[in-house]
Amino acid sequence: MTLPARNLLAEEASPYLQQHSDNPVHWRGWSPAALAEAKELGRPILLSIGYAACHWCHVMAHESFENDAVAAVMNRLYVNIKVDREERPDIDQIYMAALHAMGEQGGWPLTMFLTPDGKPFWGGTYFPREARYGRPGFIQVLEAVDKAWRDKQQSLAESADGLTSHVEQRLAGAKGRAVLDRDALADLAARIDGMIDRDLGGLRGAPKFPNAPFMHALWLSWLRDGQTAHRDAVLTSLEKMLAGGIYDHIGGGLSRYSTDAEWLVPHFEKMLYDNAQLIRLGNWAYAATGDNLFRMRIEETVTWLLREMLVDGGAFAASLDADSDGEEGLFYTWGHDEIESALGDNAKAFFRHFELAAPHGWEGKPIIRQSEAQQREGIVDHVQLAPLKAKLLAIREKRVRPGRDGKALTDWNGLMIAALVEAGRALARRDWVDAAAKAFAHIVGASQDGRLPHSMLGAKKLFPALSSDYAAMTNAAIALFEATGDPAYSDHARQFIGELDRWHLDSEKTGYWLTAADSGDVPIRIRGDVDEAIPSATSQIVEALVRLSSLTGDLDLWEKAWTTAEHAMGRASQQAYGQAGIVNACALALEPLKLVIIDKPKSSSLVPVANRNPDPRRVDIVVPIGTDANRPLLPGGVLPATDKPGAWFCTGQVCLPAVRDAGELEKLLRRGDRGAIAQQ
């Protein structure tokens, strides 16, 4: 039985899909029923994948999907399926890999043509309604693909079979295990370093993305091997992007990427994950340098987060759109006269610290940015500038706001919760830790039968969770345990790993699938090894297993972490650039750090030292002085004495003698483990 001949997206839980519910296209969400319809009708599937904050997705929608003539062709020739890539990254990764295998450059909107059984045979990204940009018009494409399907159905089906097998091998295949060694991280960091733009930060060329997994690899290289050039590459990249137009100087927060090499012209959408990683990297940079630039940008970004991204219940929305009132960046850009009118005599002070830039070919109003000197002066003069920025923000709030994708994605929230807790500890902002705890509680409270949702929009919840959801929430739970000492968080972490094992562990117990065992609508069950804008699901799993085993001293959990890491590295060894996250996580598995602190709860001297010296390799456990129960084991099953303050710093199975003095602990943590234990 076929589905109704009308658009069926109105009842979907995704704001992106709901945006297309008024299209004349007979859209279906991805479902077994939609796939069955294609088989029954014998029609190919037109699959369109995008997301709410995607500018070119909106352009194609306005040009083609809202057009009656285009929709008539789509409805006559195809079963049309719309997918929100943030809701279904498992589906997106499969068909994006297929596009890459065809030799095409990826991107969104992703437009793929599938056989009635869901196998890809041709595709592309954005197609204009009329032929331009060197691309054929969309109706031309639709009719040409239909003709090819009718005339060459057998050969296209055979091609689709081969392409599907290739994608399955790439995303789901196993290459055996690899021996973990220190050289993998050093090699990756050296190769990334060779791509760094020394003057402008980031990777050379344009567009420029923050690329957190690469920055993480360079930072780990500095922490572990003392590669100061790698540290400096991260610091330069942060400084340059925070001065550029990619950073929102009025309201805080980072856009997804810049279209140019100078970080000036962003795609103005703001994603939750980018800002989580900015907070985390900025926190490490502030700890290493004491530079108030990083502290202030963290504070501004968290203020933006709590002002604009909270959803009912306390979790965080997925993204803000690039467009408002149909124009990209309109909400964020300013004319010189607008600022002068708003600030009056204070406009001169503003323009001493900021400049408006409009590059060649830019059709909108100018973009606010700072020169390097203005950025430095702005930090010194931040008290003077704060009321000016507040006045501009108040005026901006009266503009037509960009759309917000208000769904709460579990894995993205897990990343933000962990980042917010780490920054809250480092900057002594208990309110940030409390906000993170509230978000955590809201997501856990949405569980059904012990299983997390992947996405929530109000009362609508999308089950089952992906492996990335359990991993990110495990790391978030551990971060909250480190900040609060509440054993309920370590219990949650154990429960999440239990659900991960139950629904995602492969039959050989060598790793995990991205989708759950009872997900019945995926054509290929994939691993989730590939980094996108965030570290891959596999890398987050390895990190979660390592951190939880270090926290608990559970040797069985440690064996699981090690086995998972070895097999992940085996799969990643051929393409480390796309899987930097796995390399970073395996470096953590090689040398996990553990810090156990016994201290006075009311007058701590050692805990603040740990808080202001974050290290992504380290798990911190704080125990009140005099505690008898629930004392954490040091490696080797040794219980630390709790009769007086002390700190035990361990790498793997080796611990340094207890440190009693805050100054000595500061020196030790700032030096890290680079030779510290080897010298004992």
Model pTM? Answer: 0.95
State how far the Cα of 243 lies from the Cα of 262, in Å rounded to an integer: 10
pLDDT of residue 674: 47
- The pLDDT-based confidence of 496 (bands split at 50, 70, 90) is very high
CB 19 within 8 A of CB 61: yes
DSSP assignment letter at 321: -
Q: Where are the beta strands (DSSP E) in 181-235?
A: none
For 662-678, give one letter per residue: b (16+ CB within 10 A) or e: beebbebbeebbeeebe
Q: Is 114 strand, coil or helix? A: strand
SS (H, E, C) 542-600: HHHHHHHHHHHCCHHHHHHHHHHHHHHHHHHCCCCCCCHHHHHHHHHHHCCEEEEEEEC
| 576 pLDDT above the threshold of 80 | no
**Mean pLDDT, residues 31-44 taken together:** 95
**pLDDT tens-digit map of 506-527:** 999 999 999 999 998 999 999 9
What's the one-letter identity of residue 309?
Answer: M
Measured at the alpha carbon of residue 219, what is the angle toward residues 526 and 202, in degrees to the nearest 5?
A: 80
pLDDT (0 to 100) of residue 536: 96
Residues 98-114 pLDDT 10s = 999 999 888 999 999 99
Give the pLDDT score at 176.
81
For residue 602, is pLDDT > 90?
no
Q: Name the token pair of 580.
A: 């930097």
What pLDDT, in 10s, does the model give residues 415-436?
A: 999 999 999 999 999 999 999 9
The stretch 647-662 carries a mean pLDDT of 93
pLDDT of residue 672: 55
Structural domains of the chain sorted by starting position, each given as residue range(s) with its CATH number in brackets: 15-172 (3.40.30.10), 183-325+405-590 (1.50.10.10), 332-398 (no CATH), 593-671 (no CATH)
**Model confidence over 381-407: pLDDT tens digits?**
999 999 999 999 999 999 999 999 999
Q: Are 411 and 87 in contact (CB under 8 A)?
A: no
Give the pair of three-digit tokens for residue 76: 């006559």
51-74 per-position pLDDT tens digit:
999 889 999 999 999 999 999 999
| 526 closest CA partner among 118, 94, 172, 174 | 172
Give the separation between CA 5 and CA 285, rounded to whole angstroms: 55
pLDDT of residue 566: 96
| Residues 270, 252 contacting (CB under 8 angstroms) | no
Q: What is the CA radius of gyration of the chain?
A: 26
Rounded to whole angstroms, the Cα distance separating 624 from 645 reads 9
Please write the tens of the pLDDT for every residue from 113-168: 999 999 999 999 999 999 887 778 999 999 999 999 999 999 999 999 999 999 99
The confidence score (pLDDT) of residue 243 equals 98
- To the nearest whole percent, how much of the chain has pLDDT over 70? 98
User: Using CA atoms, how far apart are residues 628 and 113, in angstroms rounded to an integer?
Assistant: 64
First-last CA distance in the chain: 74
Say if CB 200 and CB 586 are below 8 A apart.
no
Query: Which residues make Cβ contacts (< 8 Å) with residue 330, sequence separation at least 6?
Result: 323, 324, 364, 365, 399, 400
Given this model, what pLDDT does residue 677 score? 44
pLDDT at 172: 83
Average pLDDT, the chain: 94
Mean pLDDT of 605-614: 97
Query: Crossing angle, helix 228-243 and helix 183-193, to 10 degrees?
Result: 50
**Each residue's pLDDT tens digit, 163-191:** 999 999 888 877 788 989 889 999 999 99
**What is residue 601's predicted lDDT score, i.e. its pLDDT?**
85
The tens digit of pLDDT for each residue in 623-643 reads: 999 887 667 888 878 888 888
Q: How many CB atoms lie within 10 A of CB 679?
A: 7
pLDDT score at 361: 81
Q: Which two tokens stand for residue 374?
A: 């203005």
Residue 129: CB atoms within 10 Å: 19
CA distance 12 to 419: 30
Span 66-91, average pLDDT: 97
- What pLDDT, on the 0 to 100 scale, is given for residue 173? 73
Average pLDDT of 250-269? 95
Lowest mean pLDDT among 44-48, 225-229, 247-251, 357-361: 357-361
Count of CB atoms situated within 10 Å of the CB of 360:
4
Q: What is the arithmetic mean of pLDDT over 8-23?
A: 95
Residue 505 is given by DSSP the state B
Task: Find, among 413, 582, 427, 411, the residue nearest to 511 by Cα.
Answer: 582
Q: 526-548: per-residue pLDDT in tens?
A: 999 999 888 999 999 999 999 99
Which own/partner pairs from 142-149 qualify as long-range (CB within 8 Å, at least 24 positions apart)?
142/46, 142/70, 142/73, 142/74, 142/77, 142/78, 143/73, 143/77, 145/44, 145/113, 146/44, 146/77, 146/78, 148/122, 149/44, 149/113, 149/121
